[in-house]
Structure formats: structure tokens, C-alpha cells
């Protein structure tokens, strides 16, 4: 259950990051509200997952899901560059997340 909560927390990090971009500096109400609610929910689930997962594992996976998710959202929806070095960096982050999960048990 901790891994599921952590995964959802990471996905919510992607949601609030995208909403923050769309809020245009917190000048748009709906995206600003989504950002705040998403942040609170993401932090709450991260906190709950840390009851049973090591700090380093939980935080690394949470930020990694957020980083890779934001990277993909940027490419797919915002026109960010998908250059080979950026894709390689994303693959390295993803391989690090997989290794972190495999080395943590559970």
C-alpha cells in the first residue's frame, strides 16, 4: 500500500507542477487552486508512505516520478525539446528509480 500511495503522490506532483505552469504565476484561479490542492494531497500521500518506506527511497522515488512526469508533460503538451541528451537523462533517472525500488524490497 505504501508503494501505491507513493506512486499516486508522485503523479500528483506532475499534476500540480503542470497546473502551476498553467497558473501563469498564480494569476489564474482554477490552475492555482489545482496547484495548491495537488500539492497538499501529494505531500500528504508522501508523508503516509514514509511510515513504511525509508526516507531516501520515498523521497527519491517521489521526486523522480515528478521529474520524469513533468519532462513527459512538457514534451507532449508544452512543446519542450525532446533532444537525445534530454531523453538520455530521463532514461538514467528512470533506471535509478527502478534500481532504488529493487534495492528497497517490498
pLDDT at 100: 86
Closest CA to 68 of 36, 41, 100: 100
> How big, in percent rounded to 5, are the helix, strand and coil portions of the chain?
80, 0, 20
State the cell numbers at 59.
523521497
Report how far Cα 59 is from the mean position of its chain's Cα atoms: 10
pLDDT at 94: 94
SS3 83: coil
pLDDT at 102: 86
The ranges of the chain with pLDDT < 70 are 105-106
State the cell numbers at 17.
507542477
pLDDT at 104: 76
Domain ranges of the chain: 1-104
The CB density around residue 3, as the number of other CB atoms within 10 Å, is: 16
* pTM score: 0.89
Amino acid at each position: 500500500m505504501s508503494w501505491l500511495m507513493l506512486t499516486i503522490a508522485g503523479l500528483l506532483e506532475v499534476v500540480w507542477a503542470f497546473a502551476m505552469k498553467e497558473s501563469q504565476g498564480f494569476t489564474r484561479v482554477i490552475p492555482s487552486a489545482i496547484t495548491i490542492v495537488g500539492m497538499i494531497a501529494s505531500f500528504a500521500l508522501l508523508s503516509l508512505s514514509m511510515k513504511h518506506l525509508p526516507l531516501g527511497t520515498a523521497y527519491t522515488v517521489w521526486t523522480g516520478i515528478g521529474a520524469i512526469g513533468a519532462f513527459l508533460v512538457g514534451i507532449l503538451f508544452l512543446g519542450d525539446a525532446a533532444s537525445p541528451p534530454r531523453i538520455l537523462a530521463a532514461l538514467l533517472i528512470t533506471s535509478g528509480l527502478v534500481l532504488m525500488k529493487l534495492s528497497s524490497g517490498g
